[in-house]
Amino acid sequence: MTTASDSASVISARNLRKVYGRQAAIDGLSFDIAPGRIVGLIGPNGSGKTTTLKAILGLTGFEGELAVLGRDPRLERDALMEEVCFIADVAILPGWLRVRDAVDFVAGVHPRFDRSKAERYLALTKLKPDMKVRSMSKGMVVQLHLALVMAIDARLLVLDEPTLGLDILYRKQFYQNLLEDYFDENKTIVITTHQIEEVEHILSDLMFIREGKIVLSASMEDIGERYAEVMVGPQHINPARALQPISERSVFGKSVLLFDGVSREQLAVLGEVRTPSLADLFVATMKGAQQ
Amino acid sequence: MKRAANNNIVWLIRRELWEHKGMLLWTPAVIGILMTLLGGLLAFGAVARTKVRTALIVNGEEISWGAVLNAQSFAHRKSEIIQAVANNYTYTGAPLFLALGFLVFFYCLSALYDDRRDRSILFWKSLPVSDAQTVLSKAAVALLVTPVIVLAAASLSSLALILILCGVLAANSIHVIAELASAPGLYLGPLRLFGLLPVYMLWALPTVGWLLLVSAWARSKVFLWAVGVPLLLLVLLAWASNMAQADLPVHWLQVNVIARALLGVLPGSWYLFEPALLPAMQAQAGAGPQMLQFNLFANSWSSLAMPAAWVGALAGVAMIAGAIRLRRWREES
């Protein structure tokens, strides 16, 4: 890997804006994603996550500047798709498609597809070459799609709610396969999902998006340093509140306070300090933005 | 890059055949087989009936039909009939030609709509295949692959029918097969059918373009948009023409725009749009049945001398370009 674009960002966005009617779906987004990261793009429904992904994939027009692997997805989508892969949603493979034909087709049109790799994945599942998508369970469709995608040596993989509607076994399996067999330092993964708990342990970076704007963008290490959660007994509640927590909730009669940028030593005197879960951080951030 | 594009188109066409196997392969095959079976049944029925009176009495002598038809005095007439049959037997494929019109029509309507409806478009768009390649592969299936399949089915089933007829005649001891096999028309028939393919493609282009355009654009009810909008336009225009007592070119529009947008996929549609072609054919048809087939071929090709054929084809190409653009940028909600 010696080309100039490799050292730079995989995705570089400046002032992305997309308006549907009068509503801005994304409103001045700017961010950079470095190679070898797994980035979670997290936000409530209608926050602009999917529009952002569509812009990255060249599926929608937008204002602003965007470079994906050094290319403008509006103008160079066809070339881009050789190095970018995406799973847009579950069960979007057409019902008439047979496993064998799906493998043949992708092998036929994709220069970076490794057929033997796909067949190895498929051999681990219950999928048979003659099966049609129509006759598969939702989980099996995702297995097929994942087998196809993981056999493509893409530099950027975009996942939009990849495990929606799957049961817990398939969901676990999905992320496990992704991490163990696919991901390496030359690849970058961008995931949007509602199920934050599920991706929490695999993400390297995090972007919270709300009403078309990024409200938090940080690496997981930064998050661990910046945010802390303290369980405070009633005797310490007033000094704790004086440190201006960004959220407060009560669990079993104790208060749990979430702090942004307060040192852990300072908090340790008040009670037990933990790194907050992403779900709690998400709720706190979204609430904060509403005020 | 060029090679990759060709390679992609081949895979995309294969993809279409997987998806529409029932429609594009089985429908022509089944119609062809049914036609052959029905022809066979009719032929055997004819044998069964004529067996009852297999002989006729001439001057008090019993003479079989076979003897009459094999007689030297009948030889000239017989070869004429055989030539006529050899030159025209491909017309028996008519049901398949009609089916071709319907197949191409409904194929085009669903071609760019079905994968948007089931959202599998996002899978196809995740592969390094350009939207132009996708749309062009679908146009190629409509204009080339489907007609070739149907013409092959028509050629095979009409050949089967003529062989059945020979068999039936042979059972009545009328032997024509050797003479038929030496008739050039027998071999030229299918060649002429395939030879008309370029004419068909050019006249079908506007309809294929229009249907692909609607198929790439409509969010639902593709058929209603594709057929309803032109018809509504026509009704409005006729109404306006009546109300204003103006001489709006309603009839011209009906034939040259609306009909060509909807009916161009029927084989022989050029006679529908350009009735001027017909008198020329009829004038020469007097020369005998042998000429008729030949003229249909030459006459159809002569339709390409008409500017209308090319104007329509250009409009078709423009609409296909529009479909490519829509395929690239149309957003699914």
Q: Does A59 touch chain B (CB under 8 A)?
A: yes
Q: Is the model's pLDDT at A90 over the cut of 60?
A: no
Beta bridge partners of B63: B56
Mutate which of B119, B123, B129, B134 to disrupt the A interface (most A C-beta within 10 Å)?
B123
- Whole domain around residue B249: which residue ranges? 2-329
Number of domains in chain B: 1
CA distance B81 to chain A (A): 49
Per-residue pLDDT of A159-183, as tens digits, reads 988 888 788 888 888 888 888 888 8
Nearest to B128 among A78, A87, A98 (CB): A78
CATH of A4-211, one of 3.40.30.10, 3.30.420.40, 3.30.230.10, 3.40.50.300: 3.40.50.300
Nearest to B119 among A81, A89, A109 (CB): A89
Per-residue pLDDT of A230-269, as tens digits, reads 888 888 888 888 888 888 888 888 888 898 888 888 888 8
Segments making up each domain of chain A, as ranges: 4-211, 222-290
Helix (H, G, I), strand (E, B) or coil at B20: coil
Instruction: List the single residue in B with minimal CA-CA distance to A91.
Output: B120
Q: Is the model's pLDDT at A194 over the cut of 90?
A: no
CA distance A88 to chain B (A): 6
Nearest to A161 by CA among A216, A198, A106, A215: A198
Per-residue pLDDT of B173-207, as tens digits, reads 777 888 888 888 888 888 989 999 999 999 999 99
At residue B284 the predicted structure's pLDDT band, cuts being 50, 70 and 90, is low
| Contact assessment for residue B298 and residue B194, using Cβ atoms and an 8 Å cutoff | no
Q: Does B19 touch chain A (CB under 8 A)?
A: yes
| Contact assessment for residue B194 and residue B151, using Cβ atoms and an 8 Å cutoff | yes
At residue A66 the predicted structure's pLDDT band, cuts being 50, 70 and 90, is very high
- Average pLDDT value for residue range B80-97: 85
Nearest to B19 among A81, A96, A109 (CB): A96
Considering only A120-129, A137-146, A189-198, B46-55, which range has the smallest mean pLDDT? B46-55
Chain B residues with CB under 8 Å of A54 CB are: 331
Instruction: List the single residue in B with minimal CA-CA distance to A109.
Output: B8
Q: Give the type of residue at A123.
A: A
Q: Is the model's pLDDT at A198 over the cut of 50?
A: yes
CA distance A28 to chain B (A): 21
At residue A22 the predicted structure's pLDDT band, cuts being 50, 70 and 90, is confident
Chain A residues with CB under 8 Å of B329 CB are: 61
How much of chain B, in percent, has pLDDT values that exceed 90?
50
Q: What is the pLDDT of residue A201?
A: 86
Per-residue pLDDT of B113-150, as tens digits, reads 999 998 899 999 999 999 999 999 999 999 999 999 99
Q: What is the pLDDT of residue B157?
A: 93
Q: Is the model's pLDDT at B53 over the cut of 60?
A: no
What is the distance between the alpha carbons of residues B60 and B53, in angstroms, rounded to a whole number? 15
Q: What is the pLDDT of residue B69?
A: 63
| Contact assessment for residue A144 and residue B162, using Cβ atoms and an 8 Å cutoff | no
- Average pLDDT value for residue range B300-320: 93
Nearest to B93 by CA among B184, B32, B147: B32
> Is B122 in contact with A95 (Cβ distance < 8 A)?
no
Chain B residues with CB under 8 Å of A94 CB are: 19, 114-115, 118, 120, 123
Q: What is the pLDDT of residue B138?
A: 97
Q: What is the pLDDT of residue B57?
A: 63
Chain A residues with CB under 8 Å of B9 CB are: none
Buried b (16+ CB within 10 A) or exposed e, B238-262: eeebeeeeeeeebeebbbbbbbbbb
What is the distance between the alpha carbons of residues A141 and B136, in angstroms, rounded to a whole number? 28
What is the distance between the alpha carbons of residues B129 and B4, in angstroms, rounded to a whole number? 10
Mutate which of A23, A56, A57, A105 to disrupt the B interface (most B C-beta within 10 Å)?
A105
Q: Does A54 touch chain B (CB under 8 A)?
A: yes
Number of cross-chain residue pairs from A and B with Cβ atoms under 8 Å apart: 74
| Contact assessment for residue B314 and residue B322, using Cβ atoms and an 8 Å cutoff | no
Q: Model ipTM?
A: 0.88
